[in-house]
Amino acid sequence: MIIRIVRMTFHENNIEQFQEVFNESKPYILQMNGCTHLELWRDIHEPNVFVTYSHWISEDALNAYRSTEFFKQVWKRTKALFNAKPEAYSVVRYV
């Protein structure tokens, strides 16, 4: 299993729109082959910073999802709302 963490910073006036995109997309992402968990977190000191936290059965499963038309459409809508370049990490539990 891998964990995917994506940190995104939004223009303050785009936060509500991003939340709508996420809430619409979440059920479909969770149905994707290989996705077993998905959460959205918000920074306590920077309220325009959000983090997605997801579990995937493998990097191949994550990459297969990222190559879907669904992902491309959601990412296009999300990218338009950014205030800064996103940061993404794929990690595994070490200990």
pTM, 2 dp = 0.94
Per-residue pLDDT of the chain (95 residues; tens, 9 = 90+): 999 999 999 999 999 999 999 999 999 999 999 999 999 999 999 999 999 999 999 999 999 999 999 999 999 999 999 999 999 999 998 98
User: Are 91 and 3 a contacting pair, CB within 8 Å?
Assistant: yes
Bridge partners of residue 53, in order along the sequence = 5, 39
- Provide the greatest CA pair distance for the chain: 40
Round to whole Å and give the CA distance between 25 and 47: 21
Domain of residue 76, CATH code: 3.30.70.100
User: Dihedral sign, CA of 9, 10, 11, 12?
Assistant: negative
Task: Determine the structural domain holding residue 13 and report its residue range.
Answer: 2-91
- Domains held by the chain: number: 1
The CB density around residue 87, as the number of other CB atoms within 10 Å, is 11
